[in-house]
Chain A
Amino acid sequence: MISFSQVTKRYPGGLEALRGVTLAIAAGEMVFITGHSGAGKTTLLKLMAVIERPTSGSVVVNGQNVGALRPRAVPFLRRKLGLIFQDQKLLFDRTAFDNVMLPLAVTGFERREAARRVRAALDKVGLLAKEKVYPVRLSGGEQQRLAIARAIVHRPAILLADEPTGNLDTAYAAGIGDLFRSFNQVGVTVVIATHDEAFAARLKPRLIHLKEGRVAGQPTIRGAA
């Protein structure tokens, strides 16, 4: 489903976030990317979602080499992904319902069917009663769950989450972990970047540990990229 081969990402200014990363994630897998902040977890996810492009090496998502994807084709790849961000990126001038509606609106979904799906997604994350509420009036955990509802409403094949439990307490994090587990059980490929080892350990997923831009345990080849 997702494969990296000898991927290096160097940001303007010289910072090397990833150095020769090679990894493969199969369809239906649940993978946690762990490591300290600055280890390259976020960059890894950004490359999968074509928010960044690799400096060298190739990133293949869903059979497409995303490093060489034309800008025009990027939106169509992103529609197959569900993205959950560290800072959630909710729109505060719209209700919970409208926030979740967004991914369906951009694809021009038929309205009644779209509304039905939005309610199903809100129900899944336990926010159905708050569909008319604006995000400001939701708690941090509720905002995170709203972001999750928005990421799954269009039934993506791949779910990418960056620090989904960022500033939530343990009990709340467990609930969110269970949500991801349930998506994975219906066949969604789930990739979660987190530094929260306890959160990761509880779900017993496959772990990919990043250290200073390299996959830990992997032999380091100097100047490979």
Chain B
Amino acid sequence: MKTWLWHQVDAFTTTGGRVARTPVSTLLNVGVIGVALALPVGLYVAVVNVQSLTRSLASDPQLSVFLALDAGAADVKRIETRLRQHPTVREARYVPRDQALKELKASTGLADVVDSLPGNPLPDAFVVLPRNAAPQALEKLRNEVRGWPKVTHVQLDAEWARRLEAGLRAALLAVWLLATLFAFALVAVTFNTIRLQILTRREEIEVSKLIGATDSFIRRPFLYFGALQGLAGGLAAWAIIWVGVQLLNGALADLSRLYAAQVELQHLDPEDSGSLLVFSAALGWFGSWLSVNRHLARIEPR
């Protein structure tokens, strides 16, 4: 156990020495890996942000029930009762057409246009909050209410959010495809780095084998190097994303002030950050493992 520990410590010092001796090429490799990982991770952060935005907007799905323009007070009363008594309806709020027009005038700055209209073009409406927010339940309620007399149109207000959500799922798939490709790139970069290292250390490997070094002893510093380089690449990617989000938030702050709304991008959460680092280190390890297995066997002392 103690021997094993010494081996690990030794391998670490050896690895550290190698990094220190080739700082520029190590830095460039880390940069390449960082940029390669930053692309899928950046896209992921974008998707996650849009997703959380749509969730907050569409958290309370509601139905807007528009009545026919010629619906009288009796019709309104009848539909209101039906809605209130419906088992899946939690709340139904009546929006009279006059009030809707007033709101339209006040909120959109279209007062001039509205004033110039000959009459009120808006129908009476109900805003219905369902008990069950599941898409199927909403769909069912909409189809039912749509068939009632004097109801011209029922709109599912969360529909756009659901479409966006489906789109985001596709985007997330794209993230994974991209991540797979760049993971391959990471493995390839590490493979090549380690190949070059093995070639330049040929003599050392040969001598080590001659004095009784096991393959795992020779392999260890290379594996550590691969893992460390991968980890450093992951850190670089994380830093790139962090700076990117920070810069975008700076720009968005102006936008938020102009629109008086709070828009802020979220950073990568700790869990995802951890996965990124573990993942990149593991891939680096894997790349160097492939490379070492392939190239080490060819170096036999003569």
Contacts and interface: CB of A to CB of B under 8 A. Distances in A.
Interface of A: 49, 51, 72, 75-79, 81, 83, 85, 89, 91, 93, 102-103, 105-111, 150
Interface string B205-226: 0111111111101000000000
A75 B213 contact: yes
Contacts of B204: 91, 93
Interface in B1-53: 2-4, 6-7, 10
A37 B198 CA distance: 33
B78 interface: no
A170 B211 CA distance: 29
Contact of B208 (A81, A106, A108, A110): A106
7 contacts: A75-B213, A77-B212, A78-B211, A79-B212, A102-B208, A108-B3, A110-B2
B6 A102 contact: no
B203 interface: yes
Given A106-B213, A106-B217, A108-B3, A89 B207 contact: yes
A91 B301 contact: no
A106 B7 CA distance: 8
Interface of B: 2-4, 6-7, 10, 203-204, 206-215, 217, 301-302
B213 to A, nearest CB: 4
Contacts of B6: 108-111
A91 to B, nearest CB: 6
Contact of B212 (A51, A85, A103, A111): A103
Contacts of A109: 6
A78 B3 contact: no
Contacts of B203: 89, 91
Contacts of A91: 203-204, 207
B4 A78 contact: no
Contacts of B302: 51
A108 B206 CA distance: 18
A150 B208 CA distance: 12
A49 B210 contact: yes
A73 B214 CA distance: 9
Contacts of B3: 107-108
Contacts of B10: 105, 108
A109 B6 CA distance: 8
B8 to A, nearest CB: 10
A102 B204 CA distance: 10
Contact of B209 (A75, A77, A108): A75
Contacts of A76: 212, 214
Nearest to B302: A51
A120 to B, nearest CB: 18
Given A89-B203, A91-B203, A91-B204, A102 B7 contact: no
Given A51-B302, A89-B203, A91-B204, A106 B211 contact: yes
Output the residue of A49, A51, A72, A105 with the most chain B CB within 10 A: A105
